[in-house]
Amino acid sequence: MLDSLRGAANTWVVKILLLLLVASFGAWGISGTVFDNVGGNFAISAGETTVSPTEYRLAYERQISVYSQQLGQRLTREQARAYGIENQVQSSLVSGALLDEEARLLGLGISEQQIAELTRSDPSFQNGGQFSRQAFDYVLAQVGMRPEDYFATRSKESARQQIISTLSDGVKTPEVFLSAVAVYRGETRNIAFVHLPQSAVEPIETPTDEQLSTYFDQNKSQYAAPEYRKLIYATLTPESIADPNAVTEEQIIQDYEANEAQFTTPEMRQVQQLLYPDEEAANAAREKLNSGVPFEQLITESGRTEADVSLGNVTREQIPDAAIAEAAFSLQVGEVSAPVKSSFGSVLLRVTNITPERVQALDEAREQIRTDLAQREATRVIADMWNEYEDLRAGGATLAEAASQLQISAVTIDAIDAQGNNPEGEPVPDLPLGPQLVSQAFQTEPGVENPALDLGTTGYLFYEVIDVIAPRDRTLDEVRDRVVSDWTRAETQKRLQDRADQIREEIAGGKALEAVAQELGSTVESRLGIRRDGTDSTLGQAGVQAVFDIKEGEVGIANAAEGDGRLIFQITQTMLPAGDASALSAQDRQGIDQGVGADLLEQIVTRLRGKYDVRVNQTAIDQALAF
């Protein structure tokens, strides 16, 4: 964490502390980590300390759960390996085993009473804030761990924590280091700069054949044609096999009559409700209405708005209180009810709009019913059709022939690469399952009958690779337009950088920024108080870093944060704070202390790797992770 600061501060105190701590563990040998495939009931060992396959699997599952929750899906072992989870788990368990072995030799441990107290305070085993033996047994049963194994693990963890606490919890970073950090963080710089736009080197002439050929030869791999695959696929879904024409008028009428409610939009009313604490208050409000006071005034007097008292546009079923529902649906538009006793008091109701019940006519619903019935029938027979497809393939039919007999469409893609693009570099359109189909197509061989891919819960995707088109180098003529565009872009950036380098040398040699700006037809700009951790819309993050890569008075170049131009800047002033560590907040100090402690612990673990023989039993790990 503090690597970038170590050059800016005196760290000899930290180094001495580290060496003293390491020395306290005794001399170390020369053996290191051994990766093997030996047998044995352990996944990892350090000296005489072992990590069982069950412990390895539990640690792996915990890490998988963390990543899966972040990504919103359960990771496979292949995905976990791609994310480096296996390496993370292995590294963590090796470190823990090394510390456990050191704790064992140092005689560190805790009493049975302390283990019992730790177990009682573990929130995993509590019910209502109290330890529950039932919860304890249940949790351990879920992870396949015996109570004695749990107690042994807690004992090792506690002993390990004694070492960790000694190394890191009590670390106090030396004031000289904190002062250096304060200086480093607090430094600010002022710059003056000129903007060199891309237009300063444009237009770029058309490349000669020789230039184009040279550029193409130097970058030929960029223009190579990847492996393409020719494939055929067919989808078996209710939509693909549904036959609306097979649905009779009699079936449509029967469905319409059997599902009348489905075609009925119930009556809806816009209802307002004024709630009073009791019937007496509600009657008093009703008397005001009878005397001519408008309902809107009652709303105002209650301290509410019309939005506050609106129940919305609701059906009778959407009003949970039966008495209110009955009253509201017996009123005319604008009519106010008598007080109605509800679960929360007495209310006055007013209806401001009524949308009558509407029944969709058979003629309006006919085509939708026809489509629904056809798809329902298709869903019912789709499993039979899948079996029929399998029988056809088993009998020697090709995918296209089987699809034809089932009367489903087969689609042929002449060429698709592993990214799902055609030879023109454009995504192949309307590709079912997209990346999944492409991935599977590039894992099989031509002519192989592959298992169908699921399309949701009721559909299947059949696919087969017809041919493999091997990767090859394209000729210049095939990609000439693209090469011309790339050469022009690269040549523009080269000339822009060459011009920026020239200007930097001129300024470093004494030429004034104002003179450069005049030649470019621009003005000298400035930025004041730039900080390492700051942002700047013109410089961008990389530009801010470039400002701190050179000394005061020197000249640097940065890419413009927007566009393709260059900024040629000069450090006009560097301002350092007093260097007092008191400028750091308590949170900053705590973070630095923790970082130094973590560095110390990391180096201790590194030293312990040399002291103890570490073995990784890959066979046991593979067996533990087999699922």
Are domains 228-245+376-469 and 267-356 of this chain identical in fold?
Answer: yes
DSSP string, 381-448: HHHHHHHHHHHHHHTT--HHHHHHHHT--EEEEEEE-TTSB-TTSPBPTT-TTTHHHHHHHTTS-TT-
User: 314 in the Ramachandran plot: left (φ > 0), alpha (ψ -120 to 50) or beta?
Assistant: beta
Does domain 228-245+376-469 match CATH 3.10.50? yes
Is the pLDDT higher at 537 or at 586?
537
Encoding tokens for residue 61?
């599952």
d(CA 14, CA 358): 82
Name the more confident of 126 and 50: 50
Q: Which residue has the tokens 């037809």?
A: 521
Share of the chain above pLDDT 70, in %: 88
Separation between Cα atoms, residue 317 and residue 315, nearest integer Å? 5
**Per-residue confidence at 496, pLDDT binned at 50, 70, 90?**
very high
pLDDT band at 82 (very low <50, low <70, confident <90, very high): confident
CATH architecture assignment, domain 267-356: Roll (3.10)
Average pLDDT over every residue of 534-556: 92
Q: Where are the domains of the chain?
A: 3-174+590-625, 188-219+480-575, 228-245+376-469, 267-356
Question: Mean pLDDT, to the nearest integer, of 289-308?
Answer: 90
pLDDT of amino acid 568: 96
| Token code pair at residue 476 | 């210049």
Going from the C-alpha of 578 to that of each of 102, 412, 529, 531, 581, the distances in angstroms are: 44, 73, 16, 16, 9
Residues 217-260 have pLDDT tens digits of: 999 999 999 999 999 999 998 888 888 888 888 888 888 888 88
Lowest mean pLDDT among 135-149, 433-447, 554-568: 135-149
| pLDDT on residue 554 | 95
**What confidence score (pLDDT) does residue 17 get?**
34
The pLDDT score that the predictor gives to residue 466 is 96
Q: Which of 60-74, 368-382, 492-506 has the weakest average pLDDT?
A: 60-74
For residue 288, the one-letter residue type is: K
pLDDT in tens, 39-54: 557 889 888 888 888 7
Residue type (1 letter), 132? S
pLDDT tens-digit map of 5-29: 333 333 323 333 333 333 333 333 3
Question: Average pLDDT for residues 127-144, to the nearest whole number?
Answer: 72
Name the average pLDDT for the chain: 83
For the residues 420-447, what does the mean pLDDT come to? Answer: 93
CA distance 323 to 442: 66
pLDDT of residue 143: 57
Among residues 574, 551, 546, 525, the alpha carbon closest in space to that of 188 is found at 574
How many CA atoms, within 13 angstroms, populate the side-chain half-sphere of residue 38? 11
Q: How confident is the model at residue 109 (pLDDT cuts 50, 70, 90)?
A: low
Q: Specify the CATH number of the domain 3-174+590-625.
A: 1.10.4030.10
pLDDT at 25: 34
Query: Which secondary structure element, helix H or strand E, spans residue 263, and what is its range?
Result: none
- At 13 the pLDDT is 31
Average pLDDT over every residue of 546-563 = 92
Could you tell me the pLDDT band of residue 215, with boundaries at 50, 70 and 90? very high
